[in-house]
A = this chain, B = another copy of it.
Amino acid sequence: MNKNIKVPMAALVRLTTYLRCLNEMKQSNVQTISSSDIEDATGINAAQFRKDLSYFGEFGKPGVGYNIDELHDTIARILKVDEERPVILIGAGNLGSALLGYSGLPENNFRIVGVFDNDRHKIGYKLWDNEIYDISTIKARNAKIGAKIAILTVPVKSAQDVVDDLIESGISLILNFAPVPIHVSKDIMVRNVCFIQELTILSYHLKS
């Protein structure tokens, strides 16, 4: 398998979809699947799935299909989520707390290694098992932690300021839950979680 292929964004999104789907399938007793099972589960057509995989080598056996565990591990390797990644969480509010308690993070090799907030009433207290640190200490702390990925669950009004601090602290990848556009230089990557889009898609299908 050639791990150095640069995967285009659209293919990357599809690969994460396959991985998610395989994660779910691993919990069942099924061991082998076909590309049309993938189509049923993801909505991405079987030919596209086979084409996406073909860039990385030969997988599956004709007439037999794909071994779920093998396919999962291969895609995890392609996506580089076969090793644990340290992540810091900024914002110890309701959403931050919900994310911190979410088992999907460790199950997918993401480990929250630091929680930061600017609220004096929260700093020093624990959120789940994590001490809440003062955001003003992030640069010194992340020099030790070495996280590159941050999850941002702060209010709209502080989002941009926090991002500037994060970048100074060595963070280059940001998952933004704040419903506001964030401006960063080209070497920093931001992905926005926007469930309003999903609600809009649902609402569009409302029968009148």
Q: Which residues of A approach B to under 8 Å, CB–CB?
A: 7, 9, 12-13, 16-17, 19-20, 24, 41, 43, 79-81, 85, 87, 93-95, 97-99, 101-105, 108, 110, 148-149, 151, 153, 172-175, 177, 179-181, 189, 191-207
Contacts and interface: CB of A to CB of B under 8 A. Distances in A.
Contacts of A153: 98
- State the main secondary structure of chain A at its contact with B: mixed
B203 A81 contact: yes
A182 to B, nearest CB: 11
Contact of A16 (B101, B181, B200): B200
Copies of this chain in its oligomeric complex? 2
Given A20-B197, A108-B196, A202 B175 contact: yes
B189 A205 contact: yes
A9 B44 CA distance: 12
Contacts of A19: 200
30 contacts: A12-B204, A13-B197, A16-B197, A16-B201, A17-B197, A19-B200, A20-B194, A20-B196, A24-B181, A79-B203, A80-B203, A85-B203, A93-B98, A94-B97, A94-B98, A95-B95, A98-B98, A98-B153, A99-B195, A105-B199, A108-B200, A110-B199, A149-B206, A151-B199, A173-B202, A191-B198, A191-B199, A191-B201, A192-B198, A193-B195
Contacts of A177: 195
B207 A172 contact: yes
A3 to B, nearest CB: 10
A97 to B, nearest CB: 5
Given A20-B197, A110-B196, 9 more contacts: A13-B201, A20-B196, A79-B204, A95-B98, A103-B179, A151-B199, A173-B206, A175-B198, A191-B198
